[in-house]
Chains A and B, each alone.
Chain A
Amino acid sequence: MQFLYSGLTSGSIYGLVALGFNIIYNTTGIINFAQGEFVMFGGMLIYTFFTIFHVPFAIALPVTVLGSFIIGALFERIFVNFCKYKTEINLFTITLAASIILRDVAMHAWGRDSVKVDDYIPIANLKMPGGVISSQSVLIIIVSLLVAWGLNLFLKRSKYGKAMRACFDDQTAAETCGISVRNVRIIAFGVASFMAGVAGVLISPITFVTYDDGIMIGLKGFCAAILGGMGNFWAAVAGGLMLGIFESFSASIIPSGYKDAMAFFVILLILFVKPDGLFGKKRAHRV
């Protein structure tokens, strides 16, 4: 059971990152390889405000997640917008290049060393059936699920959320409704970065933050998105949780040095056996 608890914790983080991949992919067809860097920036921002400048958490948190949203929106304006021919391979290259640039920027801004963010809540171990779970883990799981649920509401209820879904379905038709696909794309990047920022804030007191954290967390989130199946939001969350649990269970049977490799093993397996993901349905493509 202990593995389940630690798996759920890392899994909810993967889920948040996977949601970001999903939102951007569905609105724009882009796999955004800077998604992990957005997580790292979330961690660095909260570190800067909360730990360095001692801004009260109640202010530091909203500033950080809002900052994350703006970083995402600017990312779209700067890197994606100026791409003249928005083919998949061009955009892929751009987000990859941008992720390396962001990493270097972070290295110069915050240095090469890991930074530790102060705890947000008192640390305690809660007794659970078959093991213990830390208060931090509970916080991570609850907040992640709340954010995922909030995103779901946003997409189902709000005008711009619905417009995003319309763009998933058919961008040209969306434009004929007066929806600016450009604005939707900016919002998509903003929301994806917001989700990543929340993930960054949540994990930084536990794992420390380093400028190059984005690589691994981004890839894991990507694996989770593929595992669940692109194009389905709850599948991204489920994919994240499953990947987390799988990772932590596998750590109990095989040497823990292989833990990171497990995620990629899962991805290969999925791509070989069920390329649309566990819960994915084939998206109809118009020719």
Chain B
Amino acid sequence: MLEVKSLSVSYGAVAALMNVSVHVAEGEFVSLIGSNGAGKTTLLNSIMNIIGHSKGTVTFKGKEITKLNTPKIVKGGMAIVPEGRRIFSNMTVKENLEMGGFTRPAHEVKEKLEQMYDMFPVLGERHDQTAGMLSGGEQQMLAIGRALMTSPKMLLMDEPSMGLAPLVIKEVYEKLKLLASTGLTILLVEQNATMALKYAQRGYVLENGRIILQGKASELLGDNEVKRAYLGKEYKEKWER
């Protein structure tokens, strides 16, 4: 469904991604893990053409989307839940969702709104509240809801666990699992390797802008290299907290 071929991105003289190739099949849940500054956000943002890239191609549903602008890519069926959620904090919850449905016809938006409220009851309860007042977890749900309003075939998730309590993180992942079971294709990037790999079928490991490992998620979870580099670090971080 998504095919990223030897993508390179640099910020000025700083190379952030070098020859990165990633593919995701239809209906797959794929996680890409990497530590701080590995280039995860850069990868997702350049797939969506939020930032430009210097080399490589991105193909989605058999069509090259490398040169399309972000709104066109969204219309084509790919949605992103950006890093830091980036909800419209001065608008209400309902308006945020409506904006997600910007490219969809009015009757579909209405239907989808109800679906979102069913899926995330808290959004229904708070539909008239200013989105900036929501808690971090609620904002993450809203960001996911907003992305789903675009009626995507594929969802890109940028660090859904960021800044959330473990219990809330689990809730978010359970929702993603549910979405995956309905046939939504998911590419998720995370520092939180344990969670990301536990829920995914396949995984990639990104380090300093290069893919250094890939394979079945369960195998990566057991991989010594991954354990040392990511899981170990996480345990240490948890310890420090």
Residues of A bordering B, CB below 8 Å: 159, 162-163, 165-166, 168-170, 172-180, 284, 286
Contact = CB atoms under 8 A, between A and B. Distances in A.
B138 interface: no
Interface stretch (B88-96, B173-181, B188-196, B223-231): B88-96
B98 A176 contact: no
Contact of B146 (A168, A177, A284): A177
Please report whether the interface of chain B is mostly helix, strand, loop or mixed according to DSSP. Answer: loop
B74 interface: yes
Given A162-B98, A162-B99, A163-B99, A176 B74 contact: yes
A170 B86 contact: yes
Given A173-B82, A173-B87, 17 more contacts: A159-B98, A162-B99, A163-B99, A165-B88, A165-B90, A166-B88, A168-B90, A176-B48, A176-B74, A176-B80, A177-B103, A177-B149, A177-B150, A178-B74, A179-B71, A180-B69, A286-B86
Interface in B7-64: 48, 50
A166 B100 CA distance: 10
28 contacts: A159-B102, A162-B95, A162-B99, A163-B99, A163-B102, A165-B90, A169-B88, A169-B89, A169-B90, A170-B86, A173-B82, A173-B87, A173-B88, A174-B88, A174-B99, A175-B50, A175-B69, A175-B71, A176-B79, A176-B147, A177-B99, A177-B100, A177-B102, A177-B146, A177-B150, A178-B71, A178-B75, A179-B102
Task: Please list the 3 inter-chain residue pairs (A to B) with the smallest Cβ-Cβ separation, ordered nearest first.
Answer: A178-B103, A178-B74, A169-B88
A172 B82 CA distance: 9
Nearest to B80: A176
B208 interface: no
Contacts of B150: 177-178
B71 A180 contact: yes
B70 interface: yes
Contacts of A166: 88, 91, 95, 99
Please report whether the interface of chain A is mostly helix, strand, loop or mixed according to DSSP. Answer: helix
A172 B99 contact: no
A166 to B, nearest CB: 5
Nearest to B70: A175
B87 A176 contact: no
Nearest to B85: A173
Interface of B: 48, 50, 69-71, 74-75, 79-80, 82, 84, 86-91, 95, 98-100, 102-103, 146-147, 149-150
- Among A165, A172, A176, the one with the most B-chain Cβ atoms within 10 Å of its Cβ is A176
Nearest to B49: A175
A162 B91 contact: yes
Contacts of B98: 159, 162
A176 B84 CA distance: 14
Nearest to A179: B102
A29 B144 CA distance: 28
A172 B91 contact: no
- Among B48, B99, B103, B146, the one with the most A-chain Cβ atoms within 10 Å of its Cβ is B99
A152 to B, nearest CB: 14
Nearest to A167: B88
Contacts of B75: 178
A176 to B, nearest CB: 5
Nearest to A165: B91
A165 B70 CA distance: 19
A165 B131 CA distance: 13
B88 A176 contact: no
Contact of A176 (B70, B89, B91, B95): B70
A95 to B, nearest CB: 25
A241 B146 CA distance: 39
Nearest to A176: B80
A159 B98 CA distance: 9
A174 B88 CA distance: 8
Contacts of A174: 88, 99
B102 A178 contact: yes
Nearest to A160: B102
Contacts of B48: 176
Nearest to B81: A176
Nearest to B87: A173
Contacts of A168: 90
Contacts of A169: 88-91
Contact of B74 (A163, A172, A177, A286): A177
Nearest to A173: B86
A170 B102 contact: no
Contacts of A180: 69, 71
A97 B50 CA distance: 31
Nearest to B95: A162
